[in-house]
Amino acid sequence: MYEGVSFVPLTWTDMLYLAPEFLLAAVFIVLVLLDLLLPKRITRQTIGWLTLAGIAASLLLVLLRMLDMNEGGVSSEAIRLLANSYRIDDFASLLKIVFLTGTGLIVLLALGSIRDDEAITDRAEYYYMLLPALIGAMMMTSSGNLVTLYIGLELLSLTSYVLVGMRRKSGLSAEAAFKYVVTGGISSAMILFGMSYLYGITGSVDLGSIAAALPDALVDFKALAYVGFFFMIAGFGIKIAAAPFHAWAPDVYQGAPTPISAFLAVIAKGAALAAVFRIFYSTLLMLQDENAIVSKDIWLALLVLAAAAMLVGATAALRQKNTKRLLALSGVANAGYMLVPIGISLSVVHSSNFSEFIYYLIAYLFMTIGAFAVVSTVSRSSGNEELKSFAGMYYRAPWTAAAMVVFVLSLSGLPVSGGFFGKLFILLGAANAKAYWLVGVIVLSSVISYYFYFGFVRQMFMRSGSEQGEIRVKAETGIVIWACAAATLALGLFPGPVMEWINAIFSLQSDLMINN
């Protein structure tokens, strides 16, 4: 059984390793003080730009650390802090780069949209409250310990509850915040309950110690292990909005400010998927012989959840006329796609799970944030978020319509786009693992999704919008739209170099297999 570890204090060197997270925390405290001390007319946009600068500085620190750890093209061992409770490795660094980039784009989108949203009263908070949520997501990627991971999860969740209810003059926003608090609380309770069972049978909260103790624990406590893992699957299923745990998503996305909806769709979902990846691969991959049936059952449960998410998300979106609810259900289906590389596990013929997962996450980030940026622009111009507000958009804003076509092609998985190759890599991975039933589900859900994704194209190019005025795109929003469109096309044109770069950096043994 686990005998515990003595307290290991942080050294100054350790503090340098944690510089990206500490920098965001320092910027958050400074911005709170500025919000209190400076006149409101000065602070609103200034705090937004300072938030963006803090995120950019943190991103630079993560990049420098990753380059240092991979100097000469050779990946070094993970840096372990606080008795392996916190890890600096390439798995965490790659995901932190994704989350920092996505949050930076979301802050820029907020700078372009917040001025016209009269329902938001505390506009400075709208920016800097993203920072603790981002810190929570970064903690989840680096955690080597269930307690540390749960702290990061709660930091992300609690801050997200506030952000969803930021439109205080809107009844929809209040309803969305209430639903998100209730479902988020249930999710956190289920995850914590599952973690408690793993601790109970192994005597440890450290992922490496759990992996070492689990084979012996399964001799007497196999049923309890199933309970622990399945409760965590259900809890994280709510966090990533995978069917049948997705009912909250359309209402919350519709009521939240549009940039916050994008944050939930990309950053919060990605952080939860990263936690699933870290926990399950660290603890289950080494199970062998008679214990291997346990890991096979859990991988199968993840694949069933993925299939349900793909099919339910695609079919439920067919009836939607509200664009944010439609993108929420699109996110349900995409959660299913990203669960596939996790659920098919490793085999002799398939070991590129992480590169498939993060490639699609990167593509999903750009196409989803870009789509939300276009929705924000169109809804501000038309006064509503219905699909019909896109009518005649080609004549009112032809370049923005062209960018939306790029995002639609990528979301639906058609060439040449990042989404196409992301789905293709996942599909080929499932085929290599001989999960042919899953290949069929991926193809079927993609075909179904063509109908509702091309509802945007139908409205933009085949409907008249002559009664509506010209669509004006704010400079900040325009930067987000075209940066996302360019990145989506670049991922579609050069998928090979991106995958090769990820594979060159990431090492399963040093970055994901946590040993004591």
DSSP 166-202: --TT-HHHHHHHHHHHHHHHHHHHHHHHHHHHHHHHH
Classify strands 86-88 and 79-81 as parallel, antiparallel or unpaired. Answer: antiparallel
- Whether residue 245 contacts residue 237, with contact meaning beta carbons closer than 8 Å, is answered with yes
Q: In terms of Cα–Cα distance, which of 406, 367, 400, 409 is closest to 381?
A: 400
pLDDT at 117: 63
pLDDT at 488: 96
pLDDT at 2: 43
Decide if 5 is inside a domain.
Answer: no
Decide if 466 is inside a domain.
Answer: yes
pLDDT at 82: 84
pLDDT at 169: 77
Task: Give the count of beta carbons closer than 10 Å to the beta carbon of residue 286.
Answer: 16
List, for residues 386-428, the tens digit of each pLDDT value.
888 888 888 888 899 999 999 999 999 998 899 999 999 999 9
Q: Counting beta carbons within 10 angstroms of the beta carbon of residue 3, is it exposed (0 to 12), middle (13 to 18) or buried (19 or more)?
A: exposed
Decide if 207 is inside a domain.
Answer: yes
Task: Give the count of beta carbons closer than 10 Å to the beta carbon of residue 137.
Answer: 30
Distances in whole angstroms, Cα of residue 298 to Cα of each of 225, 227, 267, 293: 10, 11, 25, 9
Does residue 98 have a cis peptide bond before it, meaning omega lies within 30 degrees of 0? Answer: no
Decide if 219 is inside a domain.
Answer: yes
List, for residues 127-166, the tens digit of each pLDDT value.
999 999 999 999 999 998 999 999 999 999 999 999 998 8
Task: Give the span between the Cα atoms of 165 and 150, in whole angstroms.
Answer: 23
Mean pLDDT, residues 429-447: 93
| pLDDT at 466 > cutoff 60 | no
Task: Give the span between the Cα atoms of 222 and 292, in whole angstroms.
Answer: 12
Comparing 380 with 129, which gets the higher pLDDT?
129
Q: In terms of Cα–Cα distance, which of 144, 141, 163, 165 is closest to 153?
A: 141
Residue with tokens 């991979």: 70
DSSP code of 11? P
Q: Using only C-alpha atoms, what is the Rg of the chain?
A: 22
Residue 309, both tokens: 């998410």
| pLDDT at 176 > cutoff 80 | yes
Show the domain range for 379: 14-511
pLDDT at 244: 92
pLDDT at 73: 62
List, for residues 112-132, the tens digit of each pLDDT value.
877 666 656 667 788 999 999
Task: Give the span between the Cα atoms of 84 and 249, in whole angstroms.
Answer: 35
Decide if 4 is inside a domain.
Answer: no
Task: Give the span between the Cα atoms of 337 and 314, in whole angstroms.
Answer: 12
Decide if 72 is inside a domain.
Answer: yes
Q: Which residues pair with 347 in a beta bridge?
A: 350
Mean pLDDT, residues 345-360: 83
Q: What amino acid is encoded at 97 in this protein? A: I
pLDDT above 70: percentage of residues in the chain: 92
pLDDT at 485: 96
Q: What are phi and psi of 112, to 5 degrees?
A: -85, -15
Number of domains in the chain: 1
- pLDDT band of residue 353 (cuts 50, 70, 90) is confident
**What mean pLDDT, rounded, does the chain reach?**
89
pLDDT at 1: 43
Task: Give the span between the Cα atoms of 37 and 295, in whole angstroms.
Answer: 55
Decide if 8 is inside a domain.
Answer: no
Residues 6+ apart with CB under 8 A from 329: 246, 249, 250, 313, 314, 316, 317, 320
Which three-class secondary structure string do you get for 272-301? HHHHHHHHHHHHHCCCCHHHHHHHHHHHHH
Comparing 83 with 25, which gets the higher pLDDT?
25
pLDDT at 3: 45
Decide if 9 is inside a domain.
Answer: no
* CA-angle at 66, arms to 61 and 69, nearest 5°: 125
Distances in whole angstroms, Cα of residue 508 to Cα of each of 199, 257, 420: 25, 38, 26
